[in-house]
Amino acid sequence: AASAASQVLMHRCRFVDHVPEAVESLQYDPSCSRLAVLRANGDIELWSLTAGGWWREAHMPGVPETPVRRLVLGERTAAHPDGRLFSCGLHGLVTEWDVAHLSPLESYDSMGGAAWGLALHDRSSRLA
């Protein structure tokens, strides 16, 4: 028989009704086992795969009225030890994100209006 000292009382909380936003875009970088997730509300999440499984490495809140549509990850290098992250959207901007500080680093005009897609050329590190 268990003694009273070895029993643990547990209280179950059910007041948090968390419904995650839909996924708008996914970008996986196999060189560092990292996944960038763009949510429908504009939030950006970075997930890393380790021996223990997936864990959310970073979360950057979306900017209201900024319709972001795609993400692209650049690999980690000596010049960019945290890697590089770019986004584009219907506003016509391509934004590079500061992964270390979880904020926009710089934005560039796409020179063509709304940007529906974005890709990184592996060998040249150029965006298309």
pLDDT at residue 44 in the model: 93
pLDDT at residue 46 in the model: 94
pLDDT tens over the chain, length 128 residues: 555 567 888 777 777 777 889 999 999 988 888 999 999 988 999 999 877 789 999 999 987 777 888 999 887 888 888 888 999 988 889 999 998 898 889 999 988 888 888 888 877 678 88
What predicted TM-score, i.e. pTM, was given to this entire model? 0.77
pLDDT at residue 5 in the model: 65
Residues forming a β-bridge with 98: 103
CA dihedral 115, 116, 121, 122 (to 10 degrees): 120
pLDDT at residue 109 in the model: 92
Beta 93-98 vs 103-109: how paired, if at all? antiparallel
pLDDT at residue 50 in the model: 79
Beta 23-29 vs 34-39: how paired, if at all? antiparallel
Name residue, tokens 């990850």.
Answer: 73
